[in-house]
Chain A
């Protein structure tokens, strides 16, 4: 069974304090790994897709990396507006692009 586990469940940082969020996965052939950001009362917003081990993608203060077993979302010098829940999801080989398996999310709070 395909599974995604995110850690930690919650993370509180001071503004400017860099850290990483973890997404561990087991899947029968990875077709894609997705990162989303979700603000309270809103739907998830797409950030990145990673397809193969060693791949990296960056957007502003965020960088996503991928290995064969996990993905990391690195946050460099975060600002209060980076506070949100970050979701990781995988698409298994042979599954359609709408059939994602999601982790429980990491709730990130950045204090000014």
Chain B
């Protein structure tokens, strides 16, 4: 039972390159979300999904794209990477009800040069 799996663990991109951060869960949770973590700042919500086929923007969505075709997977796409997107990215899942805390993956550390 892996929980929430994120790949890759580390990635270096040049400005303008594109890439997809993968997130897969085996917890059968309806809700999935992407957060970024930067030094001195709290985790900030990028995009989230309340079920397959449904996505919405969080606090900092610009420069990122998501889709949710299955319950298990929620990839995050960077279409044209910028140095401001250097960060650690966390995928999280939960059931969506009040008593269901977020379960996080171990993150992808992204550096954009």
Asked whether A49 lies within 8 Å of B45 as measured between CB atoms, the reply is no
Given the interface pairs A97-B31, A102-B42, A102-B43, the reply to whether A46 lies near B103 with Cβ below 8 Å is: yes
CB contacts (< 8 Å) of B105 on chain A: these are 43
Q: How many angstroms from the CA of A44 to the CA of B44 in the assembled complex?
A: 13
Asked whether A98 lies within 8 Å of B48 as measured between CB atoms, the reply is yes
Cβ of A41 to closest chain B Cβ, rounded Å? 7
Q: How many angstroms from the CA of A32 to the CA of B96 in the assembled complex?
A: 13
Asked whether B94 lies within 8 Å of A44 as measured between CB atoms, the reply is no
Is A72 interfacial (CB-CB < 8 Å)? no
CB contacts (< 8 Å) of B94 on chain A: these are 97-98
Chain A residue nearest in CB terms to B45: A99
Interface string of A76-112 (1 = CB under 8 A from B): 0000000000010100000011111111110000000
Is B84 interfacial (CB-CB < 8 Å)? no
CB contacts (< 8 Å) of B41 on chain A: these are 104
Asked whether B104 lies within 8 Å of A43 as measured between CB atoms, the reply is yes
Asked whether A97 lies within 8 Å of B104 as measured between CB atoms, the reply is no
User: What is the interface residue range for chain B against chain A?
Assistant: 20 to 34
CB contacts (< 8 Å) of A63 on chain B: these are none
Asked whether B102 lies within 8 Å of A100 as measured between CB atoms, the reply is yes
Given the interface pairs A42-B107, A96-B50, the reply to whether A104 lies near B42 with Cβ below 8 Å is: yes
Asked whether A49 lies within 8 Å of B101 as measured between CB atoms, the reply is yes
Given the interface pairs A97-B96, A98-B48, the reply to whether A43 lies near B101 with Cβ below 8 Å is: no
Which residues of B pack against A, CB within 8 Å? Answer: 4, 31-33, 35, 40-45, 48, 50, 58, 90, 92, 94-107
What 8 A-B pairs come out closest when comparing CB atoms?
A43-B104, A102-B42, A46-B101, A102-B43, A98-B33, A98-B31, A98-B48, A43-B106
